[in-house]
Amino acid sequence: MGITSALVLYAVLWFLTFLVVIPIRLKTQGDVGQIVPGTHAGAPHEPNLRKKALITTAVSAALWVIIAYVLVSGMLTVRDIDWFNRMEPRG
C-alpha cells in the first residue's frame, strides 16, 4: 500500500467514524428545554465536537491499523473478492 492510498484509507475511515460518533450521547435543545430563538428544537444543546473528534481519531486509527495490516500482509487480495471470475488465472 502506498502512502497516498494509506492516507485516503485513513481519511475515509475518519469521516465514516465521525458520522457514527456524532449522534452518540446527543442532547437536543428540545430535550433540555432551552430552545434558542431562530434554531430548530432538534439542534444540539452542547455538540462536544472536540471530544468526539478525539474519540473518532482514536477509533479510526485502530481500525486503520487492522485494515492496513490485512491488506499489506496479503491476507486479502483483489483475487479473493473476484466473485464473478473476471480476472485471468495466475500463471
What is the reported pTM? 0.79
pLDDT at 68 over 70: yes
| Crossing angle between the packed helical segments 3-21 and 49-73, to the nearest 10 degrees | 140
Mean pLDDT of 31-56: 93
Q: Regarding predicted confidence, which is higher, 91 or 77?
A: 77
What value does the CA radius of gyration of the chain take, rounded to a whole number of Å? Answer: 20
Q: Print the domain residue range for 12.
A: 3-81
Do the domain assignments include residue 69?
yes
User: How many CB atoms within 10 Å of residue 53?
Assistant: 14
For residue 28, the cross-strand partners are: 44
Do the domain assignments include residue 90?
no
Dump pLDDT digits (tens) for 20-35. 999 999 999 999 999 9
Please state, for a pLDDT cut of 90, what percent of the chain lies above it: 74
Do the domain assignments include residue 87?
no
